[in-house]
Each structure stands twice: as structure tokens, then as C-alpha cells.
Structure 1
Amino acid sequence: MADDEKNPAREVITDYAQAHFRYFRTADGTVYAQKNGHPVARPIRSQGTTGSHRQELMVGLFRDGRGVFNGTALKEALDLIEALALTEDVQAVHIRVAPGFDGATWLDLGRTDGQSVRIHPTGWDIAIPDPREVCWRRTQLTGELPLPAKDTDGKGIDALLRLTNFATAETECLALTWLIGCLGPSVPVPAPFLTGPQGAGKSTAGRMLLRIIEGMSSDLRRPPKDEDNLTAAVAAGWVTALDNLSHMTPDLSDAMCCIVTGIENVKRALFTDGDVFRARYRRPLLLTGIDVGVIRPDLAERLLPLRLERPRVRRTEAELWAEYAEVLPVVLGSLLDLTVKVRAAEAETPTDLRMADFAHLCAQLDAATGLGALTAYRASLDDLNDDVIEGDLLAQTVLKHADSIEPGGEQRMTSTEWLHCLSRLYSGDDLRPLPKGWPTTGKVLSDRLKRLQPTLAARGVLIDTGRTSEGRYLEITRQATSPPHEQQGAF
């Protein structure tokens, strides 16, 4: 009898699997399988209809003449392999972008042959990463990118800007900075909000920016109805693009803040009584829309408004996308060239901005190219502060009251006293009714002012809280000098 006929089916499968695949676990305990010499890893428990490890194992056994095995034998073999893999070293898996050795980063091109782009301090090249250095995790949202062109001399950047309708040169350099940030696995980037009049090509420009990173098969999506669906979609890809936003609920605003700067999601693991599933992620977001209404202050610090204008000459969709697909390899090559150049540039990190990593990237782009990305970024944040203030009557009332305080002076009261003071100031002599959403208690007022702190500070008004022997207090201080970005002026 042949050896395979003597051994139970589960042992045949286990021996074959360990000879042809590498098994390891991630920090959350998920076990992955990686074909020898190939960088793509698949969770062994995946039951997906395409590309699951169970399927590639069955196909390998059949093609190598080991036979066709029933589900029970496969399950028993995978149970044993999973138990053995839990004793192996921990290794991370990455979607689209990953850190490498010696300061390099990798970009997954989504190709079946595993070819990827390695961006290192002196340039970039195309290679298949060592599985011990990078493990790619692919999903149905992972599109294929073309092989980037070498020696483009910046022609791809010119082609991209020609195809889009950005209103100003400052907007163009902010879009480029965001794209460079998307190629860095450890750089949190603000979410571009493509806005402009109807017919300005916001959705088209959004698709073009998205497909540089995610490939031609990627597309814009409607905002999910709940946070769970949003986080599930975000965790399965790298860049998430939401189209035609017209309203921003508080829950969606908070979810976007967490996605941009990083979050951990914990849920009960399926088919268990007490085990949990952990998912950590930080992802780039891209938004399009004419107007989203009132923007909350914490989200405003994480947005990057990019204004577009209506094109003078209209083109058909087929013509436009045919040209885009043709120049995409050159665009990607030029972006990689610019990324290497920017990362090599030395620049100081601005210490007064919330998204300090992105601000530093803007400063590096300025040092490498002479563009005014950092000044443009400051001006965009200033515009967003204006939007927040224009949409918040409480912020307007606090600023009006601050005008009565001497520069460098301060005023301290309890939150309840502040509520009465600001309510009287808003109502005025004509005793107009307080608007819907106005704070009803001192505690609510205190919470609202804490959320408005960054916005008010950008206008020279500082909010502070503390406690004395008499109780808690709120303090409003009017700065003696204007904030640094107001002194520098706009571009």
C-alpha cells in the first residue's frame, strides 16, 4: 500500500500543508497561512467564496496528486495546524502599505505574482518582499495597481493635475501631500474633503486620487448607515472614499475622527461565549460633497478641504478614464519619485497643529520643492475654524463676550454663572428666545466649551477649567497677542 493510503487523511493534509505553507499568528491570535516564497497571507479560518486558504489547500492537494478529501478531514487538519501555529512567533499582516526593514516601506500592487514596491531612503524599486519582512493581507477591496514607470521626470504629476480641476496651486500641493502621506504606514493624514460648485468634478477627482493608491477597480461609496458597517468597510481596505456627503451626524463625525487618528474595535468573537475579537486600524479617508452642514470642532482639525472649480471644457467619461488608465503608471512612478525626495528633506515639525505628522510632511514638501504646502494647510484650518464658528451660536457668543475682556485679561466664574452670562448676552435687550441646542445646564455648557477649545484658541480665546476651595470654575482668557498662524497671514 502507498504511504498515503496507510495514513489517516488528516495526517496527509497536515504533512502537505506544513511542507508548502508557513503558518503564523498575529497579535490578536488570528492564525494565517502563507505559501512558501509568496508575501500574501490568508487567515486559515476564512470561509470566503474566493481566495480562502481552505480552497488553495484543496487545489494544491488535488494538483499534486494527493487526492480529494472530505470536509471532516480538512477541518481536523486545520484544527491541528491552528493549534501548532499558536506557539509560533507573532507577525503583523498589512493591507496595501507596510513598514519594512532598514527604514523602508512597501506598497502592495495587488498582483498575483506578489510584486510590490519597496520605497527606501535612496529610491524605490519593484520586488517580491521576503515573507519574514512583509505579509500582505488582501480582501475583495484590494485592487491591482499597474507597475509604476521609472524615470518619469515629474510628468505624472503634471498629468494628474491636468486631469483634475483643483481651484488653486495651494490646493494642488495639499492633494499631493495627502497622497504622499497615504504611502506611509505610520503617518496619520487628515481626510480630504473635495468641495466646490455642482459640476466641478468632485466625484471624478475623488476617484482619480483614490485609484492612484487602490487601483482602477476601486470606487467611491455612499456613507454607511451605522458605525459598524463603516468600520467593517474601513478595516478591509486602505483608503476609504465616501461620496456626496450632505449631512454629518454626530456619530458619523466621531467615527471619522477615530478612523483618521486610530482606533481599536472590540467585539465578541463568533460562536464563542466569552472570547473577543480585536481590530486596530488607522486609515486614510477621502470625502466629497458640496456642503455637509455644521462641522464639529474635533472633526474640523482632521479635515483637509480641497476646492475644485467647474472645468471650461467637458469631456466624455470614456475619453477621460481611457487617458487616466494610460497615464496611471506614470502618475504612480512620479508620486513615488516625489515621495522619496520629500522623505529625504529635512524640516522642523510645527508644534502648534493637531495633525503634527501631516504638518511635518507639508514642511518637508516645501523644503524639497519650494511649494507652500504648510502655509496652505494653516490657511485651510483657519477656514475650517470659520466654518465651525459660523455654524455654532455658542462659539459666536463666547467670542463676542471675549471682546469685552482686555487683551491678556481673564474672567473666571462657575459654569452656571457663565451659562446665565452668555444666555443674557445672546438674548440681548429684545429677549429673543435661545436657539435649539443651546446648553441648558452648567455641565452641558462646560462640555460644549471643552469641545470648542481648539476652535476658540485659534481666535485668541482660551478656555480653562479648575477647582478652588469654593468649587469648580471655568476661565476665559483673551490672549494678549494673536495666534501664530494669524500673524503669519495667508498665502
Structure 2
Amino acid sequence: MSEDEKTPAREVIADYAQAHFRYFRTADGTVYAQRKGHPVARPIRSQGTTGSHRQELMVGLFRDGRGVFNGTALKEALDLIEALALSEDVQPVHIRVAPGFDGATWLDLGRNDGQSVRIHPTGWDIAIPDPREVCWRRTQLTGELPLPVKDTDSKGIDLLLRLCNFATAETECLAIAWLLGCLEPSVPVPAPFLTGPQGAGKSTGGRMLVRVIEGMSGDLRRAPKDEENLIAAVAAGWVTALDNLSHMTPDLSDAMCCIVTGIENVKRALFTDGDVYRVGYRRPLLLTGIDVGVIRPDLAERLLPLRLERPKVRRTEAELWAEYAEALPVVLGSLLDLAVKVRAVKAETPTDLRMADFARLCAQLDAATGLGALTAYRASVDDLNDDVIEGDLLAQTVLKHADTIEPGGAQRMTSTEWLHCLSRLYSSDELRALPKGWPTTGKVLSDRLKRLQPTLAARGVLIDTGRTYEGRYLEMTRTTTPPPHEQEQAF
């Protein structure tokens, strides 16, 4: 055959690729390759250590006897494939958990054969998802889960709770509710914060909860020093677990709020003049630590405190994790059984809690099992409000002033007048200096009170803003309904 009659290498590669792979793009324009009949998709430009499409294409060509091709031919073929894929329909890719057809939810087991769990209204089963229904994205953080055991009769939940050192039954039911929330791709869940005395097994308990969803390779990490690294770690996995927090900066606190409820990050694409790429993320988050100091009000609404106690009998790491690994298939099966049971019941959505989707999940769990998760969640939110108030002198001063207002009454002043009023109240003794961080202007005070609004409202004090022809004002109202913790004490 003459040189002119030979098929160019790039055409051989392109024909082979289109015969064995399906190519599509996501909403951000990234092109993915998916072997036909297999649910795992890889970016065609990826150079990751988990295996790139370029590598699997080279291996396929070699094993099928098509030959070994140089880098130039591969690049030209992939350039053509990428250009053709941009005209294909948009399809999302998912990490670990994904919505399916007809109200089903999929859980990626991280297996090479693509077997996944399909949770549907009548039960759950193990299957390989249709590539047009679910496309999985794998990273180094995607661990392998064991095949779950069916018909466990809740035995796995009991095994998990026995291995963890949760202090109360209320804490146990909140941990179960959080695990159920991790199986919901569209439900924001508050971040469990495992606390307790030194030696209570907070890190071990955190690993056990994470590994139910992420497999035995799931682990805790130190909090990154900057938001960019935190976002990169969060976007590459499903559950993000940060260990041994002792201090929380305002930037880290704001980043955690975004992780829990979801946000999109836009950055300039490398080696371009004006192109950008978008990274949207909302992930389950887990934290451990003895004490992180002052908690900001917006983060407090997104936390789920889980208290642990010191175990009475100590065990070696090898014994503990060997028992856990043996129990994990049963634990996962029991969690899936419970997820089906919980989704089958209907419950009203509580309208007074910030994380309304998680509150409804707690209500469904109560309707299915009678555990009392919603009551425990309300109590945890109330405790966190107390923590916020105890760490904020301005909030304490506002509540002290509110005690002088009759129930149902209101008081209106400008922000500057409120600043003088609250400052005088705090410094009733002229020798008492204002604390560091105290508002210095009416604008700063107004901003601080806006941030404290949910916490103060939980204690029966409403802060409202408005404007008249004379200017802007702040209005403080004391409600006639007692705060939740006072209602509970009344009983």
C-alpha cells in the first residue's frame, strides 16, 4: 500500500475512540469520555493519577492490535473529538451520590465493575446504572465501598452506635439523620461537630461516620490554610471531614457556610486570556474538636453538635477497625433499608429552622421510627444559640436591654443612638472600658445586629430596620411568645 493510501493515525484513533466511547459535555463545557456500557466518565483532558482518558485510549488501541501511536496523533485526534463533543447534549457528572430517574437515588460503590446502589421508592438494589441516567466521576478521594447486605433488620445501625461513643440517645439519632442526609443528593445537611473531653474518640467516631459513605479509605484531614485549597479538596470528594479544629477564622467560617448550603466558584482558566471555569459544590461536612472558641451566628445555624464520652474500656486500633470493616457491609445495608423506610413516609416541613430540608428529614425519621430526631435537632440549635450569645458581648448587652422592654413592646432609634445606648449599658461603671471588637460606628453596629438577628430572634428579640423621612432606624421588639428554651422549662 502506498503512503497516500494509508489512513492517517489521527483518523484511526478517532474512529476507534468513537466506536468504543461515548463523549459528552457538562454545563461548564468540560468534555468527558465514557466507555460504552460503563458508568464512569473521565475528562478527556485529565492528566490525573487515577487514570486519564488518554491512557485508557492508548491501552485500548494497543490491546486491540491497532498499534502504538505517538503523542502528536493522539493530540490531534482528541482535539477533533473534543470539538465534536461540544455539539452533544449536556449531561452532569456526579461524585458518590446522584439523582436518577423516577425519583430514585444512586450511590456509587467506587468499584471497577461500575456496580452501584439504586435507592427507589420500593426498596434498593445493586445494578450498573444506564450511562445516560448517571455518570460517575472518580478521583483519588473516591474510595471503594463493600457490597451492602440486604434484610439486616437494623442490626447494622446498632453495631455502628455500639462502636461509637455517643453520649446520649439524642446524639445517636442526630448522627443517623446526618448519614441519611448524606444519601440525598439535593438535601443540604448541617455539619456534625463531634465534641467531647480529651480521649472521647472524636477522631475515631468521625472516621467511622465518614467511612460509612466513603469506604475504608475515607479519612479526616487538617483544615487547609486558605479557602482555595479547601475548595479544591471539597470539590474532589463527597464528604469532607476536618479534624481537631481549635480555632475558626472568619474566612474559614464563611467558607464552611458556603460548603454546607452550596455555592459556585469562578476562576480564570489556565493558559487563556479571558476564559473562565466554574466549580459548583455543596457537600456534607464533618468537624471534630474539643472547642473552636466563638462560633459565628451564620455557622451556628449550619452545625450539628454531636457529643461523645470517654469509653470505659479501651481497645487497640487493630481490633477496633477489624470489627468495623467486618460490620461495614451490614451497617451500609441497614442504612439503605432505613433510607427506603424514611422516604416512604410523609412529613410536614418545619418552617422555623434554617436547615429546613434536614428538619423535614428528621421529621420523616421520627414518623418512620419514633426516635425523636426533630426534638433533638431543635435542642441542638438552641444550645448553639446559647454558645453564640455566651461568646458575643454585644448580644448579651442587647438581651439585657430587651429585658427593660414590655412583652409585645418596641423601641425605635437610629443606629447611632442605639450605639450610645448599648455602650452606656455595657459601661454602666465609667471605669469599665468597652471590649475589643465593640462597634465603633452606627453602621458597624447595624451590620453586627443583622448578623445576630436569628440568634436574638430565638431569644424573643426581633431586630428590624426601616426608613422614614427623617432617616433610617433600627427597631427592637420583644415578642410576647417566650423563647423556646423557656417554654421547655415551663413544662
TM-score (norm 2): 0.98
Change (3 A) 1:4 1:191: farther
1:431: how far off?
A: 3.4
- Per the alignment, residue 485 of structure 1 pairs with 485
Deviation string, structure 1 residues 19-47 (Cα, Å, up to 9, x no partner): 00000000000000000000000000101
Work out whether residues 58 and 68 of structure 1, in 8 Å CA contact, stay in contact via their aligned partners in 2.
yes
Change (3 A) 1:349 1:50: closer
Change (3 A) 1:305 1:354: same
2: distance between equivalents of 1:486 and 1:99?
42
Deviation string, structure 1 residues 137-159 (Cα, Å, up to 9, x no partner): 00000000000001111110010
1:490: how far off?
A: 10
What is the RMSD of the two structures over their aligned residues, measured on CA atoms? 1.4
Change (3 A) 1:50 1:348: closer
SS in structure 2 opposite 1:473? strand
1:346: how far off?
A: 1.3
- Per the alignment, residue 424 of structure 2 pairs with 424
2: distance between equivalents of 1:163 and 1:2?
72
1:280: how far off?
A: 0.8
Kindly tell me the number of residue pairs found equivalent between the two proteins. Answer: 491
- Per the alignment, residue 352 of structure 2 pairs with 352
1: distance between equivalents of 2:489 and 2:8?
77
- Per the alignment, residue 28 of structure 2 pairs with 28
1: distance between equivalents of 2:361 and 2:2?
63
1: distance between equivalents of 2:194 and 2:400?
32
1:127: how far off?
A: 0.1
2: distance between equivalents of 1:300 and 1:81?
48
Change (3 A) 1:97 1:4: farther
Q: Does 1:16 align with 2:16?
A: yes
Deviation string, structure 1 residues 415-460 (Cα, Å, up to 9, x no partner): 0000000000000134300000000000000000000000000000
Deviation string, structure 1 residues 253-300 (Cα, Å, up to 9, x no partner): 000000100000000001100000001110000000000000000000
Work out whether residues 260 and 302 of structure 2, in 8 Å CA contact, stay in contact via their aligned partners in 1.
yes
1:486: how far off?
A: 4.8
Work out whether residues 399 and 461 of structure 1, in 8 Å CA contact, stay in contact via their aligned partners in 2.
yes
Work out whether residues 50 and 139 of structure 2, in 8 Å CA contact, stay in contact via their aligned partners in 1.
no
Change (3 A) 1:66 1:287: same
Deviation string, structure 1 residues 115-153 (Cα, Å, up to 9, x no partner): 000000010000000000000000000000000001111
Work out whether residues 378 and 485 of structure 1, in 8 Å CA contact, stay in contact via their aligned partners in 2.
no
- Greater alpha carbon shift after TM alignment, 19-28 vs 42-51: 42-51
Change (3 A) 1:11 1:436: same
Work out whether residues 410 and 476 of structure 2, in 8 Å CA contact, stay in contact via their aligned partners in 1.
yes
Work out whether residues 419 and 439 of structure 2, in 8 Å CA contact, stay in contact via their aligned partners in 1.
yes
Structure 2 gaps of 5+ residues are none
Moved over 3 A (4+): 1-5, 483-486, 488-491
1:488: how far off?
A: 5.0
- Per the alignment, residue 216 of structure 2 pairs with 216
- Per the alignment, residue 83 of structure 2 pairs with 83
Work out whether residues 459 and 484 of structure 2, in 8 Å CA contact, stay in contact via their aligned partners in 1.
no
1:110: how far off?
A: 0.1
Identical aligned pairs, as a percentage?
91
1:327: how far off?
A: 0.4
Change (3 A) 1:485 1:89: farther
SS in structure 2 opposite 1:489? helix
1:97: how far off?
A: 0.1
Change (3 A) 1:9 1:486: farther
Work out whether residues 121 and 344 of structure 1, in 8 Å CA contact, stay in contact via their aligned partners in 2.
yes
Change (3 A) 1:345 1:5: farther
1: distance between equivalents of 2:192 and 2:5?
61
SS in structure 2 opposite 1:37? coil
- Per the alignment, residue 467 of structure 2 pairs with 467
Work out whether residues 117 and 126 of structure 1, in 8 Å CA contact, stay in contact via their aligned partners in 2.
yes
1: distance between equivalents of 2:33 and 2:490?
53
Work out whether residues 263 and 280 of structure 2, in 8 Å CA contact, stay in contact via their aligned partners in 1.
yes
TM-score (norm 1): 0.98
Change (3 A) 1:277 1:65: same
Deviation string, structure 1 residues 94-125 (Cα, Å, up to 9, x no partner): 00000000000000000000000000001000
Work out whether residues 379 and 490 of structure 1, in 8 Å CA contact, stay in contact via their aligned partners in 2.
no
1:218: how far off?
A: 1.2
1:3: how far off?
A: 11
